[in-house]
Structure 1
């Protein structure tokens, strides 16, 4: 499934455009926008550069409209860069007026939706503005948050409760093999070349994230005021499903709110580590991701409460799914049974099954009932290797922080959902 909000500036790289280089970039961009007929945008951007906040907001709105004028893939790249430029102007002027939170929000929107041209300037501005407020404590932070967070993460459902919540026949077919501290050579010969799933333990225990991400004060201090895209609803196939932009602190608060599935909030398939670089320092790329001489194609965060579900689907890449905090149930079907899983016909969902594993309609989808599958409960500190095109269903069994590493030796398409 497409992930348009996550497909912005995170894929680009650049240096901090200071001095003449930065001015040259901006001038060239304005010339390009003029060629695209964006005369009103250019006029507003020039006023914004002179300190006019209203003009900066107007330029941002004009660029935003261009980003939503048609399918995401059809957006003229220069307009993505123009949106990033407008976000920079807004942030600089908001920060100058002492409005740190709105400045950070503007920068995050530039990182999420903007192009790569001014990525270095956005990163530098985030670092500067975030540092200015690093010694200030958030007045609204409740004293009991840290303790409540630790208690919630420590909860562990017993196996009977887990099985009652899982799809039919779970843990009754073939359990995915688990291996400890596997060598790269063994992984390649026994699993990568054979495209055979495996759970690997003992390889991410050294990640700082294994302890730091259990500390809510650390997470709020690093990312609390940053804006992130989240999904709200049972899953992306439901009619009530929607996307929102909220602060990371607001997202952490929503992790407790699991009573109503319609309000379930999931930070899913988002390049969070490109956006918030401090969190990137808490994880490392496993050597397994270089198997086959391929290159890492995508690094995404999957953060959410108990009960999040990713429907049965497949992806085009090799996938190493690391469970950093909490645990998840994962079911796999091989690519060879794709037709028996009734993929959606429409192009946007062609990699997603019509079958709801939580409530299988045997009359409509009769071939699913007797299919063999592999499954497991992926515990904290473990990684699951999912070969390309293998169908997988994922359910969180606790508040959960996961990281997925996609890699491929082929030229990838980044439009599929993990």
Structure 2
């Protein structure tokens, strides 16, 4: 536990201003016990703060996420701020960061500014106390620059890299992208579009990643993929996650997948740039997500409703693509939650059970470090990390007046 100056307190100006209104809204939804505990927490009762957080947590898990009242998400964020204040005052900075991150991940938007500023301050204090090992030179997350294509083909799905490769374009203009690919809905590999990203250098440096994000808590997936019975989700610190990546246990691959990491950790957001191509068609950005994991992580065959630029920052991936016109031949699941996913496990499928897929034409490619892949809406895609891989996906929708909408 670190000593804390009595003047060094965690400021929460939005909470201070909005507390009365928030508690009134929570009372209107029947949260009288929560209001009582939260009031006691604001007056210095740490046990009451923990009780209030538990009450809000139970409300967040009382039914489907979509049915949770937004006020209870704000109530959870409020309780997290109260609890984190006590940890910060006691010099327990990493514990304060953990609690604040849960508020960012599970809480509402009203108190987000307080959560963001508080986690930055706690991270600065934690880093002040951290012993930095080494001589200051970058410690690489991965130095796997080359792959053996013959060996790679052995682990990829049947017929990989033997049909039609996705075309590659260098220094393609936005106009050229729209004319040749966006309007026709055709995939393309884009090179030379990420050279100016700070992430291209910084994200392969373990010391950098641990400094800006090491204490942060993130949700990860454990298991082959989300369609497998042994798949599960865990909460880890980013440092713990990086250790899992380096250990790369084949029996329990750990993947930070489709998480809005850059809304949570602004320092990493500053390392990337939205590609100009995402402004095609009167852009409405839908999400920017992180896909970080070890070699062997797989996203099974599925499709998404939006335009997608998949940017490969560190490492290499294999991607296979089928056009939307072949949807029925790809055996989509019938359940509504999984109807955008195929029943076919390309890594291990029975041709007698899924005969139609054997002779289907597809496009594929190896997505190399520094390259971006445009995946049009509704195109089915399967993705496998060939090395330790840090990727970013940019989803956007065209405006209603766009020819592709």
Instruction: Tell me the TM-score normalised to structure 2 length.
Output: 0.93
In the alignment, structure 1 residue 124 sits paired with structure 2 residue 120? no
In the alignment, structure 1 residue 176 sits paired with structure 2 residue 166? yes
Change (3 A) 1:178 1:145: same
Alignment match, 1:309: 298
Contact kept, 8 Å, 2:278 with 2:394, in 1: the verdict is: yes
Structure 2 unpaired stretches of 5+: 1-9, 401-405
Q: Distance in 2 between matches of 1:222 and 1:37?
A: 40
Structure 1 unpaired stretches of 5+: 1-15, 412-418
Counterparts of 1:22-171 in structure 2, within 5 Å, are: 22-138=15-131, 149=140, 152-171=142-161
Q: Distance in 1 between matches of 2:206 and 2:136?
A: 7
Tell me how many residue pairs correspond in the alignment.
391
Change (3 A) 1:138 1:233: farther
Contact kept, 8 Å, 1:17 with 1:118, in 2: the verdict is: no
Q: Deviations over 1:310-349 (max 9, x none)?
A: 0000000000000000000000000000011111111111
Alignment match, 2:243: 253
Q: Distance in 2 between matches of 1:53 and 1:66?
A: 20
Instruction: Tell me the TM-score normalised to structure 1 length.
Output: 0.90
Contact kept, 8 Å, 1:257 with 1:264, in 2: the verdict is: no
TM-superposed CA distance for 1:127, in Å, is 1.4
Q: Distance in 1 between matches of 2:308 and 2:115?
A: 30
1:187 maps to which of 168, 177, 199: 177
**Bigger Cα displacement from structure 2, 277-286 vs 23-32:** 23-32
Q: Distance in 2 between matches of 1:138 and 1:109?
A: 26
Change (3 A) 1:231 1:62: same
Q: Distance in 2 between matches of 1:166 and 1:174?
A: 15
Alignment match, 2:356: 367
Counterpart of 1:236 in 2: which secondary structure?
coil
Counterpart of 1:363 in 2: which secondary structure?
coil
2:383 maps to which of 386, 394, 397: 394
Q: Distance in 1 between matches of 2:78 and 2:150?
A: 54
Contact kept, 8 Å, 1:156 with 1:398, in 2: the verdict is: no
Contact kept, 8 Å, 1:153 with 1:399, in 2: the verdict is: no
TM-superposed CA distance for 1:410, in Å, is 5.5
Q: Distance in 2 between matches of 1:61 and 1:135?
A: 31
Q: Distance in 2 between matches of 1:386 and 1:108?
A: 32
Alignment match, 2:6: none
Q: Distance in 1 between matches of 2:43 and 2:188?
A: 57
Contact kept, 8 Å, 2:15 with 2:78, in 1: the verdict is: no
Contact kept, 8 Å, 1:180 with 1:200, in 2: the verdict is: yes
Alignment match, 1:12: none
Alpha carbon RMSD of aligned pairs, Å? 1.9
Q: Distance in 2 between matches of 1:80 and 1:18?
A: 17
Alignment match, 2:261: 272
Alignment match, 1:226: 216
2:323 maps to which of 334, 342, 353: 334
Q: Distance in 2 between matches of 1:374 and 1:71?
A: 38
Counterpart of 2:229 in 1: which secondary structure?
coil
TM-superposed CA distance for 1:359, in Å, is 1.1
Q: Distance in 1 between matches of 2:140 and 2:271?
A: 19
Counterpart of 1:135 in 2: which secondary structure?
helix
1:213 maps to which of 200, 203, 207: 203
